[in-house]
Amino acid sequence: MTKKLLLASTVLAGLTAVASAADLPRRAPPPVFTPVPVFTWTGFYAGLESVYTFSDRQRITTIGNTAATRDNVANLRRPPVTSIEADGIGNIGGGAGYNYQFTPGSGFVAGLAVNIDWTDIHKNRFVLGVGNAVAPGIPNPSAFRQSLEYLGTVTGKLGYAFDRFLVYGTGGFAFGEVQYDANFYTPGLALQFAGRYQDLETGYAYGGGIEYAIPTDSFLNYFAFAKYLGLKYDAVTIKAEYLHYDLGSRNVVVGPIIPSANSYTSRFRSEGSIVKAGFNYKFGGL
């Protein structure tokens, strides 16, 4: 009898312990760690931009090729030196390239970019020279025209990224289509000498810029029209960039309208600055 009571008491105590353990709070499983995505500038990109071009150092020098024309330049009948200040807002441009960020988040970024901008800049310069010996009171007009149809660059890039904010320097090869015109008139406004050059010129460009990658939850992404076209991209960036370009100098022979041994040579120089503002679509890396 005693054994039965002991056995029943043991079973009852065990059931009570189990019931008490069931009432204890359960231990919650450890939280699952989800890493926060880190932005990287690595990847291809392409976009559009608008530009403003300006220059105040485009010198035009003129020399005479014969004794008579050298005398005209020496006596300021034709301007030995003048300049054209070219400025204006370009129509539209664009570019593409590739960036590589060495450490995601914040770190150095290197890249290569190709850009071309339709500048369509045309500027004129009209100079009144000293009159001839037979009519000193009537000036000799000279007219110059300089144009930059478009400007393209192939540049390297090196900068530093502060997460979605990128500051960089850039430099490399530049090319563009230029047109130079020189027309010299008689005091009676009859065209006497004329010269023209139009072709591709090459040189260099250097500068720097800033770029910002818009967060995916920003309202500005609603204006990214590419997504409505089904284009898949990682981010939209906005940028501002400054470049100084130099396409070198070119001699233009200013020959006579009526056959003659006399002529001039005017030397034009294409050099200036260009400010860009635009946006890029960034795509995945390699």
pLDDT in tens, 30-50: 655 455 568 899 999 999 999
Q: How confident is the model at residue 111 (pLDDT cuts 50, 70, 90)?
A: very high
Q: Where are the domains of the chain?
A: 50-280
pTM above 0.85, yes or no: no
pLDDT at 153: 98
Q: Which residues contact 250 (CB under 8 A, 6 or more apart)?
A: 178, 180, 197, 201, 267, 268, 269, 270
Nearest to 274 by CA among 237, 239, 247, 241: 241
Q: How confident is the model at residue 8 (pLDDT cuts 50, 70, 90)?
A: very low
Nearest to 266 by CA among 187, 184, 190: 184
